[in-house]
Amino acid sequence: MGTSMDELHSIAMPTGIISLDSVLKGGFPAGSFVMLLGEIGAGNAEFAYTSVLSLLELHQNENFSGAFGNSVLPEKICYISLTRSWEDVHDEIGRGFPEDLYEISSKIDFKDFSEEYFSRTSVPTEWVTTGPALTFDSLREKVSGKGLISEMVTYLDENAPKSVVIIDSVTALAEYCANPEHSADWSDIISFFRGLQKISKEWGGMVYALLTAGILNNSLQEQVMDCADGVLIFEWDDFGAAKRQRVMHVKKFRGLLPQLERANLVKFETSVTTDHGFAISKVKQVGWQR
């Protein structure tokens, strides 16, 4: 069953990042499709990891009371990877987070689309296949299959309702569509994300999509961001040669940005540590500049 728009207007989905949820008065609006656009190393992936691991911890500890009265936890955490294996992602979590969060990460529903992504490329099958050996029948089924985006849609329809989903990544999906050997093209990406923004309202959960800044040209990057409900930008601020500070900007967020503007909250200093993952280290009241 979907969630009505009236219900969504009154429900927040917490990010699990306490320092941010307290500012947001509970979290992001349920049903949000959020683009996480980040410079390399600026924290967008760490934001996504910290969010889902913290939500899993709240579920496990059964100590979530909905601090702001309108917050609900997701029923499931899903991670869609286009090029990376679970072992790779799991090892990264293990290096960057405390042991208890590393252990709880096993509860993530991980979907690896590497085989679909690398099909019809020069990458050897054994590089991306971790399951049973490829047979003639399975090869024939894959070649005649629906294609990467259609397979992603099928997975999302079955798993995204009431869930938090990470799509890793928009950058890889754009590179996939740039390959002339694949049937998908740029218009398919835009149609996919516009449809995702619409259907996410019925799902009532939250979708994070990771995008690396500077890979796509500005026009294509703006097209992707236009599809999302919210766009968070993660970048580095320079304070001289000796110091660089991670910052997060709220570029847009439908239904939420006016609230942040009124409080002059659109920019946050952030930190990433092995003790807590991603956190807001300082709220900067910088006002809204057009």
Q: Which CATH number fits domain 5-285: 3.20.20.80, 3.90.78.10, 3.40.50.720, 3.40.50.300?
A: 3.40.50.300
Among the ranges 65-69, 169-173, 252-256, 262-266, which has the highest mean pLDDT value?
169-173
- Give the tens place of pLDDT for each residue, 98-131: 999 999 999 999 999 988 888 765 545 555 555 5
Task: Match 């009431």 to its residue by tokens.
Answer: 162
The answer, yes or no, to whether residue 60 has pLDDT greater than 90, is no
Name the helix (H) or strand (E) containing 49.
Answer: helix 44-61
The answer, yes or no, to whether residue 23 has pLDDT greater than 90, is no
Q: Are 281 and 273 in contact (CB under 8 A)?
A: no
Burial group, residue 270, by CB count within 10 angstroms (0-12, 13-18, 19+): buried
Single-letter amino acid, residue 85: S
User: Which residues sit opposite 270 in a β-bridge?
Assistant: 280
Residue 35: CB atoms within 10 A of its CB come to 28
Whole-number Å distance between alpha carbons of 201 and 214: 29
The pLDDT, as a whole number, for residue 57 is: 92
Name the helix (H) or strand (E) containing 253.
Answer: strand 244-253
- Give the tens place of pLDDT for each residue, 136-159: 344 334 433 458 899 999 999 999
The pLDDT, as a whole number, for residue 144 is: 35
HSE (CB half, 13 Å, CA atoms) of 281?
13
For residue 212 the two structure tokens come to 């690396």
Gyration radius of the chain over CA positions: 19
What residue spans define the domains of the chain? Answer: 5-285
Q: Is the peptide bond before 169 cis (omega within 30 degrees of 0)?
A: yes
Q: Give, in degrees to the nearest 5, the angle at Cα 63 between 57 and 68.
A: 105
Burial group, residue 57, by CB count within 10 angstroms (0-12, 13-18, 19+): middle
Q: Are 30 and 204 in contact (CB under 8 A)?
A: yes
For residue 78 the two structure tokens come to 């899903």
Q: Where are the alpha helices (DSSP H) in 162-267?
A: 170-178, 186-203, 218-227, 257-262
Compute the average pLDDT of residues 13-42. Answer: 92
Q: For the stretch 214-229, what's the b/e string if a residue is b when 16 or more beta carbons lie within 10 angstroms of its beta carbon?
A: eebeeeebebbbebbb
For residue 134 the two structure tokens come to 């490829």
Q: Write a three-state SS string for 101-133.
A: HHHHHHHCEEEECHHHHHCCCCCCHHHHCCCCC
Residues of the chain with pLDDT > 90: what percent? 57
**pTM of the model as a whole:** 0.86
Whole-number Å distance between alpha carbons of 19 and 29: 17
